[in-house]
Amino acid sequence: MIARTLALLHRALRVDARMLRTHLFRAALVGIVIFALSDAQNSWAGAPGLEFFSWLQFYNFWFITFAGATFFPTCVTEEKEELTLGLLKLAGVNPLSLLLGKWTPRLLGAVLLLSVQFPFMLLAITLGGVLMHQAVASYCALAAHLLLVGAIGLFASVVCRKSTGACLLAGTLLAGLILGPYIAIGVAEVLANAGILSDSTAALIAAACGWVLNTSAILRIDAIMATGFNESPLSPQVIANLVVSVALFAASWALFGPCTRNELASVAAGGGWWSRLIRVGRGRPWSMAIPWKEFSLTCGGAPVIVLKGVAYAALIAAITTYSALAMYGYSNPDLSEMLAAIMLTTMLVVLFVEAAVIAARIYRSEIRDQTWPGLILLPRTLPETAYAKLAGSLLTLAPATALLLTGFIIEPEYLEEFLEHVIFDEAILGFGYFMCQIVLFLHLTTLLSILWTWAAWPVSIFFAGFIVIMGNALVGSCCTLSGPVDDEAIFFVGSVCSSVLIVIVHLWIGQQLSRLAAA
């Protein structure tokens, strides 16, 4: 068993050392360090080292959490999708060896990525405000959190058949672990104030959520960065994360056999209730074959549109009910105004998220299945094919768009205020710059999803957002250091430069699609 595990480990480490993604992740961590230095420089006070190290550790926490939702969940699903898992079994690789051989290299790679920051840790100690035992305790907390998110990713990779589902499951579990206690405490408090829930039950829920929060690495880091910290690095958070990690690994080991017994048939056929659902009501595409294919096959078609509409309406109803109960006894809000505000805010966020997902996935299936060259053989130009796919994908934004327009219909004053204070005012330059950044982000997401075929599609969303945020942070730092500047001039020049970048990235996407078509 050890020989097979070491063989997989050795191969994975050698392959990762030659791959571009490893160096890109290292570059991203160095970018996080630069971003933390920039934030600390803008607010340096009596303890610059503590300020810098605090920002660095919080960025590390979210970087590790993102890796748990994108990097670790593909360790087993990539073998399922490439149909090589059966070959590994035929070679005599048992489940434990396979899990260790596929999961451990990624864990070691993440640890090596964090080791890049060791000189900056010494820099923070030298600057003052943070001591060595604080640094050791914080990295112990991060290491335990890394092991936990890695185990969650491994579990999702074992139980799911595809990388997309594994990333979604891991992201949901991590979001529930980090945000779930706060949501549960808030809901219990609101229900108790409204008389729906007893005080004892609310206190019990708060106590249970408090115990979960004590296992959170981000709260542990916040406590470590406090003045006068002098506790052991082996905290309850570290112990709890290690115990849960071992339990998740054991569960992955136990479920590996049942979940991978029929992986060939499941991946190839793609059946199940979801596939049967999205096949309901398919008509003839006639002359709109490519948009129909994108809308019906890739995006799910009309049944998914209906499900999205119901889900979004339920989400808006839940948020509105929570807000009304939270204000119960304190004020008498206008329910129509509250509903419209919640509807507009929620749907704007949903539209942004859906647009990012569409940008990341629009060409992924053709590239992965190597059907893009065959699609280009149709009697259409490449732009016609690409824009037809985009048109079919954009149809899935209909539920969120309809609910957004409904919010404006409920409260037309919001639309009037938007037109008066944004469109027909000097703020139009700032709004234009903001929209340019969103369009640039979507273009970068599409480009990275085409270039980085080795990564799960959420990785392209993360790095595109990282590039845009870091670019704006760099511009903001330069403007701050240069002294007083005219905001309108900055927004105008920034919009022009962003438009040029959008055109360049747009042409780059076309060039990459042409290259893939000729491959």
Q: Give the chain's end-to-end CA distance (angstroms, integer).
A: 40
283 within a domain of the structure (yes/no): no
Spatial contact of 94 and 133, defined as CB atoms under 8 Å apart: no
Verify that 204 and 83 share a domain, yes or no: yes
Tell me 496's DSSP state. H
403 within a domain of the structure (yes/no): yes
The dihedral built from the CA positions of residue 339, 340, 343 and 348, taken in this order, carries a sign that is negative
95 within a domain of the structure (yes/no): yes
Which residue, 159, 158, 151, 173, is CA-closest to 249? 151
pLDDT at 266: 42
Verify that 104 and 223 share a domain, yes or no: yes
Which residue, 362, 351, 356, 354, is CA-closest to 294? 362
Residue 352 has pLDDT above 80, yes or no: yes
Q: Between 421 and 256, where is the model more confident?
A: 256
Verify that 441 and 487 share a domain, yes or no: yes
pLDDT band of 122, cuts 50, 70, 90: confident
Verify that 402 and 441 share a domain, yes or no: no
From CA 52, how far away is CA 498, in angstroms rounded?
A: 30
pLDDT at 482: 67
Spatial contact of 152 and 68, defined as CB atoms under 8 Å apart: yes
Q: Write the DSSP string, 11-50.
A: HHHHHHHHSHHHHHHHHHHHHHHHHHHHHHHHT--S-HHH
Q: Which residue has the tokens 């939702």?
A: 69
Residue 118 has pLDDT above 90, yes or no: no
pLDDT at 459: 78
Q: Between 441 and 364, where is the model more confident?
A: 441
pLDDT (tens digit per residue) in 59-83? 888 888 887 777 788 888 877 877 7
Spatial contact of 470 and 437, defined as CB atoms under 8 Å apart: no
Q: Write the DSSP string, 89-142.
A: HHTT--HHHHHHHHHHHHHHHHHHHHHTTHHHHHHHHHHSS--HHHHHHHHHHH
pLDDT at 269: 41
Spatial contact of 294 and 304, defined as CB atoms under 8 Å apart: no
Verify that 144 and 234 share a domain, yes or no: yes
To the question of pTM greater than 0.85 for the whole model, the response is no
pLDDT (tens digit per residue) in 454-492? 666 777 888 888 889 878 877 877 777 666 767 778 888
Q: Which residue has the tokens 């569409």?
A: 358
Verify that 243 and 314 share a domain, yes or no: no
420 within a domain of the structure (yes/no): no
Spatial contact of 510 and 383, defined as CB atoms under 8 Å apart: yes
Spatial contact of 355 and 397, defined as CB atoms under 8 Å apart: yes
pLDDT (tens digit per residue) in 370-393? 788 888 888 888 888 888 888 888
Q: Write the DSSP string, 402-426.
A: HHHHHHHHH-HHHHHHHIIIIITST
pLDDT (tens digit per residue) in 87-108? 777 777 788 888 888 888 888 8
Instruction: Give the chain's mean pLDDT.
Output: 81
Verify that 312 and 461 share a domain, yes or no: no
Verify that 375 and 433 share a domain, yes or no: no
273 within a domain of the structure (yes/no): no
pLDDT at 499: 93
| Structure tokens belonging to residue 306 | 């209906």
pLDDT at 20: 67
| Structure tokens belonging to residue 36 | 């933390």
269 within a domain of the structure (yes/no): no
Q: What single-letter amino acid sits at 181?
A: P
Verify that 187 and 319 share a domain, yes or no: no
pLDDT at 346: 92
pLDDT band of 289, cuts 50, 70, 90: confident
From CA 276, how far away is CA 269, in angstroms rounded?
A: 12
Which residue, 235, 230, 233, is CA-closest to 215? 235
452 within a domain of the structure (yes/no): yes
pLDDT (tens digit per residue) in 212-228? 888 888 888 888 888 77
Residue 272 gets the label, from left (phi > 0), alpha (psi -120 to 50) or beta, of: left
Q: What would the mean pLDDT of 140-144 be, rounded to a whole number? A: 91
275 within a domain of the structure (yes/no): no
Residue 42 has pLDDT above 80, yes or no: no
Could you give the number of structural domains in the chain? 3
Tell me 425's DSSP state. S
Spatial contact of 21 and 29, defined as CB atoms under 8 Å apart: no
Burial of 14 per CB tally in 10 Å (0-12, 13-18, 19+): exposed
Q: Between 21 and 293, where is the model more confident?
A: 293
Verify that 72 and 211 share a domain, yes or no: yes
Select, from the ranges 4-8, 209-213, 259-263, the one with the highest average predicted confidence (pLDDT).
209-213
pLDDT at 244: 92
Q: Between 398 and 86, where is the model more confident?
A: 398
pLDDT at 34: 72
| Structure tokens belonging to residue 337 | 């105004």
Verify that 436 and 480 share a domain, yes or no: yes
Verify that 227 and 336 share a domain, yes or no: no
Backbone φ and ψ for 179, nearest 5 degrees, come out as -100, -20
Residue 237 has pLDDT above 70, yes or no: yes
Spatial contact of 408 and 415, defined as CB atoms under 8 Å apart: yes
Reported in sequence order, the residue ranges of 316-451 that DSSP labels E, i.e. its strands, are: none
What is the span of the domain harbouring residue 469?
A: 426-519
